[in-house]
C-alpha cells in the first residue's frame, strides 16, 4: 500500500507534503514531486496537506499508472526532505486539469 502524487502537482510543487512525511519518501523533479512507492508507509498524513489534492491512495481507479510514474521518477530524481518554495506561477496552474503533458522529466535543480 502506498500513496501517489498525481498530475495536479505538475507546475505547482506546493510542497506542504514534504514537512509531514515521517520517512522522507518524496523525490523532486523540475516541476513535480513524486512518492517512492517502496518507501511510503501508507500513513496518509500527506494526503490532506496537498492544497491541490494531488496526493491519492493506491485505491483510485487508475492507480497503477500513477504508481508506475511515481516509482520511475523516484528512482532518478533527488530526495527532498525539507520544504522549499512553490513554483513561481503555481497559483496560475493550481486549477488546471490533466497536466501530464506539462511534466518535465528533468530532476530538480538547486
Max Cα-Cα span within the chain: 35
Residue 26, CA atoms < 13 Å, CB-side half-sphere: 26
Rank residues 13 and 69 by Cβ distance to another protein and give the closer one.
13
- State which of residues 10, 21, 80, 90 lies at the interface with another protein (CB under 8 A): 21
Residue 10 three-state SS: coil
Q: Rule CB under 8 A: which of 47-86 touch another protein?
A: 47-49, 51
Picking from 69, 52, 78, the residue whose alpha carbon sits closest to that of residue 103 is 69
Interface with another protein: number of residues (CB under 8 A) = 15
Q: Which stretch binds another protein (CB under 8 A): 4-12, 20-28, 66-74, 88-96?
A: 20-28
23 near another protein (CB under 8 A): yes
Burial of residue 38 (CB within 10 Å: 0-12, 13-18, 19+) is exposed
Residues near another protein (CB under 8 A) are 16, 20-24, 41-45, 47-49, 51
Amino acid at each position: 500500500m502506498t500513496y501517489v502524487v498525481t498530475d495536479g502537482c505538475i507546475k505547482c510543487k506546493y510542497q506542504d507534503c514534504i514537512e509531514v512525511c515521517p520517512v522522507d519518501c518524496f523525490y523532486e523533479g523540475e516541476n513535480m514531486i513524486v512518492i517512492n512507492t517502496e518507501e511510503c508507509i501508507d500513513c496518509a498524513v500527506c494526503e490532506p496537506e496537498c492544497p491541490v489534492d494531488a496526493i491519492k491512495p493506491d485505491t483510485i481507479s487508475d492507480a497503477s499508472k500513477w504508481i508506475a510514474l511515481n516509482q520511475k521518477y523516484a528512482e532518478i530524481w533527488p530526495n527532498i526532505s525539507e520544504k522549499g518554495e512553490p513554483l513561481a506561477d503555481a497559483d496560475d496552474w493550481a486549477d488546471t486539469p490533466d497536466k501530464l503533458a506539462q511534466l518535465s522529466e528533468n530532476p530538480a535543480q538547486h
